[in-house]
Chain A
């Protein structure tokens, strides 16, 4: 199935070959066409168009699979490799310069080039399912029909006022869909406009026929997706021509990038749709096409992919094709330069599926084993790596090859999103441990200054909650002088409150005072600046003496109880009963939990007695409460004392 490249240049074409899905053709950022074998997961062919940088490939379409029986011209080529099975061979590539290239995978070279028909970039190419005819749509608003027997243009007509961004030929080969903003249906025999479908406000990037039935039975459906539109619309070609609006729509999370569809051949068969979105998610739909439905359908299953790191990052999917049964999906994911191809069984009963894959290892493996032509950049050990940071704070990097260091590095930076981004930049050059630490604090210092400037709570939290003494010290040491006072103010705010947080802030404060002593002491208005801090600390430590005493008391009691707990138990049976007097709710727990009496009978008896006493006591207390309004504080005290003595 061909994918229509679409108008946006960001969209890189990525297409599986039809039928057997043997190949994946990818045109990457560098303009090279790579054909991957989906069975062996290795690169099969690589082709560099002569003008791959000036006229980048905008769209790819696989020609129909051919057997030996086919047309005479191609039969010759085919006969070179005598194969009975159907095999994808020709690949049409549209370029930004307006030419269409035909690449033969059997020969491994350019088959021919179709030029001089389009004056602007080709947006989409589509093969006729049976005849050796190719259609191409372009920015110059024309559609061109190419005769591949002769390699000449057969006809050309103006299709739209705007660029033609998408094309699709019906399965029976009689109709052609073209789209700019308006979808038009052409009769291919007469080249006359058959129908017009309006509804999309942006360029349509995807067109597919959803059914193979003839158009006379109201049963012909097709789907469309447009740029910046989070919907896939389904349109019905009705005989009476009353087909103004789309009949069904499917919601997506982002604009569609690659669409695969298993058409339905009869009314009883559901259409299956696999859509890969711009955000890298895959959505699977299954729907019986039987008339309009107002409400948009949400996907029956959404598949995401994440890597195996501790904080997983999503891996974007590039393309997906549905297999024979409803569960198997052939996926291509990763980046365009090194896509990973995998046959996946998706559990479609779940609405959301997240697959985790270790891309890095698989990526590097394929690099080494298959592509010998790819040069790995040699990092000169003397070269300096410049890292964004404060001017004057850049530490020179020495290249060395410590894998462990790089691993640790990852762990260090993991907690910070921005620091991580900064860190990613110099991941290529592995650095030794010492240099690494300094680099990291450099990042922290930059972050801290940024956070202080804009008073960003997120950044400040992340920086100030560091526990590493070393990081704190170096960060403070690298802090520009202008940021010192704001930092002290921020710390003053954070020192109030809970000791758990405060203890970290004290470390920062100490580091600041230690490193910038002379600067602070030289401030003329030092007392004003640090007065609040001083006052606050002073009021806090005022109770140090008493608190220490209280802590001592508590400590003594708790340790005493802990040690004498078990020994006291037997002798303190009476005492437990006394507690029961006060505790209404938990006496049962305690009686059963704490007492380790051998005779069960006596235990029960004890409990019952306790319960009775308890009831009595609660009554007593109630009485006491009722009389309380009259009683004064002393009485209250006596009452309490009584209960205690008991």
Chain B
């Protein structure tokens, strides 16, 4: 039994930027929520425990936002001057922040007044963090020193005076309670061990260091400063692994996606770049309206929060995933499934003779029409606004199928002004597309043949034909230029590859010659390319 064979819709390679899984993943965010803060947003930090509130440090305040709230759920305002670096402890109970007035304050997340004040620095404190044992605090200040403090009795445990410029970033190790790394404007990163009185490792970044990041495994350290993001191997004694230069202004912040597979960097050039941590290639790029100062990712990458110099906080939430929607759909369908469940659960026994039921072929609308030989209607269906705009390849495939059957002329003929203008606008939109040109040019010629007698009678159609003509004119000019470029490339290839010298030199003069000749000539290159690209 011969069945109808549906129209083959060829899959064309996508133009422009390659759509990878990465881009799909990172594009799957809603439009950002923008919140105006009181000043430049200098730091964002996510609480490590549910409900994953995040602390936003801007000017003299720290706001706590819930993951989905647009209003701060809590505000810390007890700062005399600009606050810096509000960070949660690993249990999410305490929050520490530095301040321009050199006092470090420790807050209970549910309270309002500072639990402890650590006084001892002489200048602004830009770096604060908890050690992994939760009982100590690391601070780094503009007075070139970094200190360890004991939380219970707010005593200063240790002071390190090794940097020779402002300390602007630092992280503590999550695996070892004694290790921490600081980065300074003196271009250096220093790894300290609290058990020893001096740094155990010094790495030169080459630019004032703005941000630091430790991988969860803590074998790798990422530093950002100047236009560079650099990755260092700590286990090999600070050996440089990669240097990334993908920003054109200073990189100010770093973040790691929750599974540790992607690294994000934000910069004053208004971009956030996403890197693959195996190849260290940029896999995605976000644009923001102003210079970026801080960046944080929610657990599971549920949202991206970015703070900018124009005091705007931008929060992007991930769209609910497809799976969630599907499961919801399943739940709705379940009752009807139950009705038939007992029949389907029948397991054939050994002696049973199975007769397979023919699977009903599902045909698209245009295929149904084609199957019934309604050529005009098939074309109409394929020209529906949605298909025409979103999937021109379907329309083109239908036209090609009609052409193959030899009934394209019938399908095109006998149309009124509205339909004709729809056809023409489709041609105008897609005729210059190299993928569709061969099919559409035939169609265009047929349309001209059929309707040449009525040209000049409808202003709408005439206008479109004029438009088409000017488009063709442009395209021809363009292709003429392209042919010239082709000639240049020919010469260049010829000079770089002396092996294929003879045919090439003959050809490069034959620009604009009919198709047959030029393909012959270019053949060797094609071969070469296919070797290269496959």
Contact = CB atoms under 8 A, between A and B. Distances in A.
Interface of A: 162, 201-202, 228-229, 449-451, 453-458, 493, 495-500, 502-503, 506-507, 509-510, 513-514, 517, 520-523, 526-528, 530-551, 553-555, 557-558, 561-562, 564-565, 568, 575-576, 579, 582-586, 589-590, 593-594, 628-629, 631-633, 636-637, 639-641, 643-644
Contacts of B444: 550
Contact of B376 (A510, A534, A636): A636
B479 A547 contact: yes
A457 B287 CA distance: 9
Given A531-B529, A537-B485, A582-B415, A455 B282 contact: yes
B457 interface: yes
Contact of B495 (A521, A631, A640): A521
B448 interface: yes
Nearest to A513: B488
Name the prevailing secondary structure of the A interface residues.
Answer: helix
A496 B15 contact: yes
B525 to A, nearest CB: 6
Given A496-B16, A557-B455, A513 B485 contact: yes
B497 A527 contact: yes
A590 B461 CA distance: 12
Interface stretch (B122-130, B178-186, B208-216, B434-442): B434-442
B478 interface: yes
Contact of B373 (A530, A558, A575, A633): A633
A639 B488 contact: no
Given A534-B529, A594-B457, 10 more contacts: A201-B61, A455-B271, A498-B432, A521-B495, A527-B493, A527-B532, A531-B533, A547-B441, A557-B452, A633-B410
A541 B472 contact: no
A544 B458 contact: no
A513 B492 contact: yes
B484 A526 contact: no
Contacts of A521: 492, 495-496
A631 B248 CA distance: 67
A557 B464 CA distance: 13
B416 A582 contact: yes
A23 B418 CA distance: 72
A465 B333 CA distance: 54
A541 B483 contact: yes
Interface in B469-491: 469, 471-479, 481-486, 488-489
A409 to B, nearest CB: 25
Interface in B263-282: 267, 269-271, 273, 282
Given A520-B492, A527-B497, A590-B458, A553 B445 contact: yes
Contacts of A513: 485, 488-489, 492
A167 B150 CA distance: 42
Contacts of B410: 633, 636-637, 640
B468 interface: yes
A575 B453 CA distance: 9
Nearest to A510: B485
Name the prevailing secondary structure of the B interface residues.
Answer: helix
A525 to B, nearest CB: 9
Given A542-B434, A550-B472, A455 B529 contact: no
Nearest to B488: A513
> Which of A201, A458, A564, A639 has the most CB atoms of chain B within a 10 A radius of its CB?
A201
A523 B496 contact: yes
A641 B462 CA distance: 23
A545 B472 contact: no
> Which of A229, A523, A561 has the most CB atoms of chain B within a 10 A radius of its CB?
A561
A534 B525 contact: yes
A638 to B, nearest CB: 9
Nearest to B414: A640
Nearest to B490: A534
A553 to B, nearest CB: 6
> Which of B60, B466, B469 has the most CB atoms of chain A within a 10 A radius of its CB?
B469
B465 interface: yes
> Which of A202, A584, A594 has the most CB atoms of chain B within a 10 A radius of its CB?
A202
A530 B469 contact: no
Nearest to A628: B374
A564 B473 CA distance: 23
B442 to A, nearest CB: 8
B349 interface: no
A551 B474 CA distance: 11
Nearest to B282: A455
B455 A558 contact: yes
Contact of A583 (B247, B458, B469): B458
A633 B417 contact: no
B120 interface: no
A526 B493 contact: yes
Interface in B239-296: 245-248, 267, 269-271, 273, 282, 285, 287
B334 interface: no
Interface in B373-422: 373-377, 405, 407, 409-410, 413-418
Contact of A453 (B245, B415, B492, B495): B245
B472 A202 contact: no
Contacts of A530: 489, 492-493
A316 B17 CA distance: 43
Nearest to A552: B472
Given A551-B469, A632-B373, A538 B269 contact: no
26 contacts: A228-B39, A450-B248, A455-B246, A496-B16, A499-B432, A509-B485, A510-B488, A517-B492, A521-B492, A531-B525, A531-B532, A534-B486, A534-B525, A535-B529, A540-B434, A546-B438, A551-B472, A554-B468, A555-B469, A564-B456, A586-B460, A593-B459, A637-B409, A641-B413, A644-B414, A644-B450
A130 to B, nearest CB: 37
Contacts of A538: 486, 522, 526
A503 B474 CA distance: 8
Contacts of B414: 582, 639-640, 643-644
B473 A510 contact: no
B248 A629 contact: no
